[in-house]
A and B are shown apart, each in its own frame.
Chain A
Amino acid sequence: MARHNARNERIKRRYFTYLREALGFSEATLDGIAKALHRFETFTAFRDFKTFDA
């Protein structure tokens, strides 16, 4: 089973930079968001975010 998706990791990295630098979120908040995103990714079996169908 996949443990992470490289393309998703890059998107998440940019998103965290945005949250930290533009919105001023703390590291603890980012950890919480990362945890929630990871939970979502586990559910989708680490499929690419591109395939997300809103």
Chain B
Amino acid sequence: MRRRLNPQRVKVDEISERLRVHPNTVRSWFGRGLPKIDDERPTIVYGQDLFDFLDDLRRRSKQACPPGYLYCVKCRVPRWPAGDMVDYVPLSPKSGNLRGICPVCDRMMYRRISLTKVDQLRALLDVAIPEGERRINESRQPSVNCESGDGDQTHGQA
């Protein structure tokens, strides 16, 4: 599939097809500041406006995590882990994930960290390195996005 977006003028269904998002998602962007070229149908967007809008959206949603903080995906803010405790889960010989619990919503929070920086972090937090944590995961996690495209990955066509 062609992923390139011609930077000219595009309709809602063309945007949703090329960016692989639901048409209603694209329509919701109009309420969040994506400019249309006029109010007539079919709704048409100037390509450069779309690029600028998506860049801006991405920049606005980014949040810096201070040292020791982990980003809670549920609360959508950086949080100090509950009980000042985090686990270090190695993903490679040099780096791994910090895993903590959100003090507000009790969900797991993760943050990627280099192994060399774990010792600096020990000044702030109680970092534990659990052993024998890995287990075999038998099932693939099915996507909850019904519109995610790739027809060859659905069960019906397997």
Contacts and interface: CB of A to CB of B under 8 A. Distances in A.
Interface residues of B, number: 9
A6 to B, nearest CB: 4
Interface string A12-24: 1100100000000
A34 B6 CA distance: 10
A4 interface: yes
B124 to A, nearest CB: 49
A30 B8 CA distance: 10
A30 B6 contact: yes
Main secondary structure of the interface of B (DSSP, over half): loop
A9 B50 CA distance: 15
A10 to B, nearest CB: 7
Contacts, number: 27
Contacts of A6: 37-38, 40, 44
B111 interface: no
Contact of A4 (B4, B6, B37, B40): B37
A30 B60 CA distance: 33
A13 B44 contact: yes
Interface in B17-45: 37-38, 40, 44
B6 A9 contact: no
21 contacts: A3-B46, A4-B37, A4-B46, A6-B37, A6-B38, A6-B44, A7-B38, A9-B9, A9-B37, A10-B37, A10-B40, A10-B44, A12-B8, A12-B9, A13-B8, A13-B9, A13-B44, A27-B4, A27-B6, A30-B6, A31-B6
Interface of B: 4, 6, 8-9, 37-38, 40, 44, 46
- Nearest 8 A/B pairs, CB to CB: A6-B38, A6-B37, A9-B9, A9-B37, A13-B9, A34-B8, A4-B46, A27-B6
